[in-house]
Amino acid sequence: MIINTVCIVLVLLGIIFFVGGAVGIVRFPDFYTRMHAAGKGDTMSVFMVLVGLAVYQLSDFTLANLLIAGKILFITIFIMWASPTSTHALIKAGLEEGQKVWTRNDKKETEDEQ
Amino acid sequence: MYRISIFLLLFGIWIVFSGQFDAFHLALGLISTALVTAISSDFFFADRSRGTGARIQEIVRIPWYLSWMLYQILLSNLHILKLALSPGDLPEVQPKLVRIKTGLKTDFAKWFLANSITLTPGTITIDIEGDELLIHSISEVTTTGVEDDAMERKIASVFERGNN
């Protein structure tokens, strides 16, 4: 019962962070700031959802379930490893390709041009 | 000694992933981990000048760093969530390119710092040039966060305690 509650809370929190990331992708002004939402809104949310699932597995404590929880932990480690790497690769490619960095002051000028 | 520890590490991972404890699967695991160790054990740690004791000390300290890291990720994820859901034309979004100098010496520690910065929402490491990191930061708060060297000091205390 307690374990189920912990699991549900973790997964729900993860989903809230996911929503924040998705909204950020739509609302942020340029490529770089969108990468912030796309690449990293995930880290915490995926972590929370997966830890929630691992906790759920452990509610019925057997060796097989312990191993499954271990595998889920491996997935979280992989995501924490791969997500920053791919974010970095994309954003570096963007900079080298010449995407303009949006700043507060630029915005006024572009509005004036229009 | 080095090869044996790599072999044991890989075999442990095999056991966790396979979850089967009969002789057939364990034998398969033995053969494949032995093969991988023979072919590619040199790739795991390029710098083997430090003793096993120092390595084990590092490995013991990493989880402590990771738990601090997780707390930081949680804090800054909340910050991004707040940014994304703030009304109007997002007044707090003030993106900026920041350069910070790092005193870390080994490539691995620099990589660890860069990955930690990228993992913390609100800051992305674009490039490492020598001992300078080029960082894209999304708001005032994350900029001051990344210019503070708390993270770097923690990493130095994990990986470069002996050197400093």
Q: What is the ipTM of this complex?
A: 0.72
Residues of A within 8 A of B70 (CB-CB) are: 47
- Residue in B84, B114, B127 nearest the CB of A24: B84
Interface test with B, best of A34, A40, A102, A106 (most B CBs within 10 A): A40
- Answer whether A50's CB lies under 8 Å from A83's CB: no
CB contact under 8 A, B77 and A92: no
Check if the beta carbon of residue A102 is closer than 8 Å to that of residue A29: yes
pLDDT band of residue A30 (cuts 50, 70, 90) is confident
- What's the pLDDT score for residue A11? 92
Q: Inspect the interface and report whether the beta carbons of A36 and B120 lie closer than 8 Å.
A: no
Q: pLDDT (tens digit, 9 = 90+) per residue, B36-92?
A: 888 887 777 666 666 667 777 777 888 888 888 888 888 878 888 888 888 877 777
CA–CA dist A90, A95 (Å, integer): 9
Q: What is the largest CA-CA distance in chain A?
A: 66
Residue spans of alpha helices (H) in B120-149: 140-147
Overall number of domains in chain A:
1
- Tokens coding B158: 């994990």
Segments making up each domain of chain B, as ranges: 2-43, 54-159
Q: What H or E segment, with its residue span, contains residue B126?
A: strand B123-129
Q: What is the pLDDT of residues B6-41, one digit of tens each?
A: 888 888 888 888 877 888 988 999 999 999 888 887
Range of the domain at A40: 2-113
State the DSSP H helix or E strand holding residue B137, giving kind and residue range, or none if neither: strand B132-139
Kind of pairing between the strands at B132-139 and B123-129: antiparallel
- Whether B141 and B91 have beta carbons less than 8 Å apart is answered as no
Q: Is the pTM above the cut of 0.80?
A: no
Averaged pLDDT, A1-5: 85
Q: What is the reported pLDDT for B39?
A: 87
